[in-house]
Chain A
Amino acid sequence: MKPPPFRYHDPRTVEEALGLLAEHGDEARLLAGGQSLVPLLNLRRVRPRVLIDLNRVEGLDGVDAGAGVVRTGALARAVGVERAPAVASALPVLPEALLHVAYPQVRTRTTIGGNVAHADPAAELPAVLAAVGGDVRLRSAGGQRTLGWSAFFSGRHRTACRPDEMVVAVDFPVAEGFAYTFSELTPKLGSFAIVGACVGLSRSGDEVTGARIALCGVADTPVRLQAAEQRLTGGAVDAAALEDVRALVAGAIDPPGDLHAPGGYRSHVAGVLVVRGLRRLWGAPA
């Protein structure tokens, strides 16, 4: 239950960190908030030769909520994003979802970049990123690129981030007219989600003009439910639509079972959470 030995670097600049990554490649791991990586070190599930601690790197912790996007630096702490008034007014689903990420004593360390890069199938932020159609900004010593969420998340704890690259920022676009809500089922507030759902709607009177539905906990990566989104668009969120959506959710996913919940239960819960979210956004009685 103690970390295995490693060479430790705590660079002060992004360039220095990228230089170390270029030098050590996949023998190195980046340490951000450490709320997932240090448990893995303590349990000796990972044994990196080199640990590059980003916590003293300058300029990676900004949170900017202007110009149609909430851009969080990779090292922005969850607790800071969750309590930032500008984020709450631009994209309230972000603090709403962050309240489900572990515990307040963990979110003082949790970083947005680390949470997304860890790519846990049950993690909330990747589902929010999928729902809003967000991007992940990467840098390496050789350059930079931006990946859409679906290109970034490639599997269970797997991303398209190369060994010489690091996440430097995460962009959550703010779409005009969209309202979102996030909910999850968990054995205890702060535990890993069994299933989580981020649902967004835009409307014009009694007509849905856009729908966005993303789930976590049902597959190796976050999932967007396009068939259900299309069924909702152009009509009202009425009983018939919700019944169809429930069936379309179940039809679109095939969640694995594990000791926390069988797959069929996850699938059922996904439908319940999506329907509840739609009702909440639409304003119908629950």
Chain B
Amino acid sequence: MTGPQTRVVRFAVNGRPVQVTTEVRTLVSDLLRHDLELTGTHVGCEHGACGACTVLVDGAPMRSCLMLAPQVDGRDVRTVEGLAVGGDLDALQEAFRSEHGLQCGFCTPGILMTLTGEREAGRTVEDALAALPGHLCRCTGYVNVRAAVRRAWSQLEGS
């Protein structure tokens, strides 16, 4: 073995094509945070339990700390930075703001990406609520998070 093995990884992040040369063992969470300076994706446990690092890969929520950089080559990755357009919060973010669905905000980006995936896949409010155990929140106790989910989904049905 001669030095660390690297790969050129080309993918889309929030609709923008990017190209990064990185070690093959780089976690996607670190690729986003360190190489692309997208620090909205948070890193909590780094073994898949906490959900803070959840991003969308080809539309599906996944733990970015459990994926290696070469695995997103050619894929479409979306992070919390892609939700607000021109500084305006999207409907889901507004629902979290209205319901005070966050306190310290550490878990919030992951939760928002899971819920964005659920909404875009046409999943029900029950499906969305059932996805919340995949995120550890140590502040709000989930009551307001669940209220935000209900508000967002009722707006979706009302629109």
Contact = CB atoms under 8 A, between A and B. Distances in A.
A49 to B, nearest CB: 8
Contacts of A38: 27, 47-48, 65-68
B59 to A, nearest CB: 10
A105 B134 contact: yes
Contacts of B4: 5
Given A2-B25, A39-B48, A109-B62, 11 more contacts: A1-B46, A8-B5, A10-B70, A31-B68, A38-B27, A38-B67, A42-B65, A79-B60, A103-B131, A190-B133, A190-B134
A42 B26 CA distance: 11
A8 B25 CA distance: 8
Contact of B61 (A4, A31, A34, A105): A105
B93 interface: no
A2 B131 contact: no
Interface in B14-43: 23-25, 27, 30
A86 B72 CA distance: 30
Contact of B47 (A10, A39, A103, A108): A39
Interface string A64-104: 00000000000000010000000000000000000000111
A79 B134 CA distance: 14
A34 to B, nearest CB: 5
B63 interface: yes
Contact of B51 (A6, A31, A51, A105): A105
B114 A42 contact: no
7 contacts: A5-B5, A8-B7, A55-B71, A103-B133, A105-B51, A106-B48, A109-B67
A8 B63 contact: no
Of the four ranges (under 10, 10 to 19, 20 to 34, 35 or more), the interface on chain B belongs to 20 to 34
A285 to B, nearest CB: 26
Interface string A46-63: 000001010100000000
Interface in A1-34: 1-8, 10, 31, 34
A42 B5 CA distance: 17
Of the four ranges (under 10, 10 to 19, 20 to 34, 35 or more), the interface on chain A belongs to 20 to 34
B54 A105 contact: yes
Interface in A95-135: 102-106, 108-109
Contacts of B114: 104-105
A32 to B, nearest CB: 12
Contacts of A108: 60-62
A1 B46 CA distance: 7
Given A1-B46, A38-B67, A108-B62, A7 B5 contact: yes
Given A7-B5, A8-B68, A42 B46 contact: yes
Contacts of A43: 47
B47 A105 contact: no
Nearest to B136: A188
Contacts of A10: 70-71
